[in-house]
Structure 1
Amino acid sequence: MGKMEERVMVALDFPNITEASRCIEMLSGTGVYVKIGMQLYYAAGPDYVRHVKEQGYPVFLDLKVHDIPNTALGAMQSLAGLEVDMVNVHVAGGRKMMEAAREGLEKGTPSGSKRPLLIGVTQLTSTTQQMLNEELQIQGTVEETVARYARLARDSGLDGVVASPLEVPLIKEACGPHFLTVTPGIRPVGADAGDQHRITTPEQAFRLGADYIVIGRAITKADNPAQALHHIIQTLRGCEQ
């Protein structure tokens, strides 16, 4: 993996361009990855994604595509044209949808450019055992389900999965050490857990083998986001693999 800064993704969970741009400006020069999710993308659109890329940031466009295979193919073909670095789908969409999503990325990636990494969402970090069994009617434990979904994603040609850091060892065991893991549910010591349940600190996530960690409010809501990021990076230096 690359430098520690390149393995930390800052979630730009803002409602508008003004707030997002203010944060982006304060993170200038840090070399950090940024994650643009549904809220900001729906408010700002593809032009803002292009703008962030032009600022030199690697971008994970977190839109969690989940639709019929042909629609997933078309969506990924369009998103590939933005030349972002990573996109994702829900593994629950099934093998044909995931294979179609990868095909769309390959078709849409401009000649001479690198295809965006394709990552599958296993189970959201807000999912509890009770929700999984009673509401979603999926039997077994969350861990068993995540490992099964990860194997399906790997077999469908995906580059990795989104999962809780707590499930990274299971995923690496099931899919091999080079299958990427992107882990939300990261909370520095003392931070509010919010609506997520399966969480760890940044240090715990890397010690569990996570390739990328996603951090939002602990950085973006800080008075000085660059300083908050720097503090987190410094605590992670001993975890570099």
Structure 2
Amino acid sequence: MKTIIALDFDTLEQSREFVSKLSAKNLENYAKEHNLKLIMPYLKVGMWQYYTAGNDFLKELKDLGFNIFLDLKLIDIPNTIYNATKTLLKNDIDILSLHSFAGEQALKAAVNAKNELGSKCELFGISVLTSFEEEEFKNDLGFNGSINDCVKQRCLISKKAGLDGIVSSAYEAKFAKYLGLKALTPGIRFLGNDANDQARVATPKFAIENNIDYIVAGRMITKSSNPIRAYFQCIKGEENE
């Protein structure tokens, strides 16, 4: 299970300060000291960071040795998705998110762009945001079934389109794995941590027990007194910091 650290900061300066503490050298030293395998983290770059600093920020992180999850949740008509994906994948990113509600044809357009470039970037479809609870989901989106029903539908569409994986909470990821899709799950927390703006949260232990491929951990690492230790605890699937 790989851990993606969400750069949940208000400014780029704060993001850069955190990344400097999470340097490859510091990670390597911690791994050696505790007899652990060094695995470089993925860093989640979200909308506001990309819209603020663009490709320069992505290059900055790549040059430091980090993997990048560019979480833009792309949603638009197929031609626009094709062009956007083709442009973004030229930045040597590792994971790109698209919203599965863009529809099968738009998702296929993204896959076509990836294939034309020969890119190894993994394309993940957003299903239902982990901030939703059942009642709010039904009221806001007008979906008659459960969140789990909707995620299954999104998994099927993402699979048909040729995406690499699906983004959902850890509780709905089982169907994605059944279809042969990779599972990427936000809303990961250590026991006792605040849920903040997430609703369907799970622990690293739950994620690893359910064969999740990628977890997204934000404040539980970025606000930790020892972020590097917290990062390795996520990789090991521990419940407590």
TM over 0.5: yes
Q: Show structure 2 runs of 5+ residues with no match.
A: 28-39
Q: Deviations over 1:168-226 (max 9, x none)?
A: 223223x13xx100000101111110111111111111111211100001111223322
Q: Is the 8 A contact 2:89 2:119 kept in 1?
A: no
1:151 CA displacement = 1.1
- Matched-pair identity in %: 35
Question: Relative to structure 1, is the Cα distance of residues 97 and 10 closer, same or farther in structure 2, using a 3 angstrom cutoff?
Answer: same
Shift of 1:235: 4.9
Residue in 1 that maps onto 2:163:
158
Q: Shift of residue 236 of structure 1? A: 4.1
Q: Structure 2 counterpart of 1:219, which letter?
A: I
SS state at 2:69 partner:
strand
Query: Could you tell me which amino acid in structure 1 is paired with residue 97 of structure 2?
Result: N
Q: CA deviation at 1:138?
A: 1.2
The amino acid that maps onto 1:58 is N
Residue identity in the other structure for 2:165: G
> What is the aligned-residue RMSD (CA, Å)?
1.7
Match for residue 10 of structure 1 among 5, 27, 33: 5
Query: Of 67, 76, 94, which aligns to 1:67?
Result: 76
The total of aligned residue pairs comes to 225
Alpha-carbon separation, structure 1, partners of 2:54 and 2:223: 22
The TM-score with structure 2 as length reference comes to 0.88
Structure-1 separation of matches of 2:10 and 2:70: 15
Indicate yes or no: 2:176 matched with 1:171.
Answer: yes
CA displacement at 1:227 relative to structure 2: 2.8
Matched with 2:186 is 184
User: In structure 1, what is the equivalent of residue 198 of structure 2?
Assistant: 196
AA aligned opposite 2:17:
R
Alpha-carbon displacement from aligned partner over 1:94-121 (angstroms, at most 9, x marks no partner): 01110111222334x3xxx643100000
What is the aligned counterpart of 2:44 among 18, 29, 35?
35
Q: Distance in 2 between matches of 1:84 and 1:143?
A: 30
Distance 2:68 2:235 in 1: 19
CA distance in 1, matches of 2:175, 2:105: 24
Aligned partners of 1:79 and 1:105 also within 8 Å: no
Q: Which residue of 2 aligns with 1:103?
A: 112
The answer as to whether partners of 1:66 and 1:72 remain within 8 angstroms in 2 is yes
Q: Is residue 11–residue 34 contact of structure 1 (8 Å, CA) maintained in 2?
A: yes
Matches within 5 A, 1:48-127: 48-107=57-116, 109=117, 114-127=119-132
Unaligned runs of 5+ in 1: none
Q: What TM-score comes out, normalization by structure 1 length?
A: 0.88
Name the residue aligned to 2:55.
46
Q: Which amino acid aligns with 1:85?
A: D
Deviation of the 1:19 alpha carbon:
1.0
**1:138 equivalent in structure 2:** 143
2:208 and 2:237 in contact (8 A); partners too = no
1:133 is aligned with what amino acid? K
Deviations 1:10-63 (A, max 9, x none): 001223321111111111123111111112212221111011011111111000
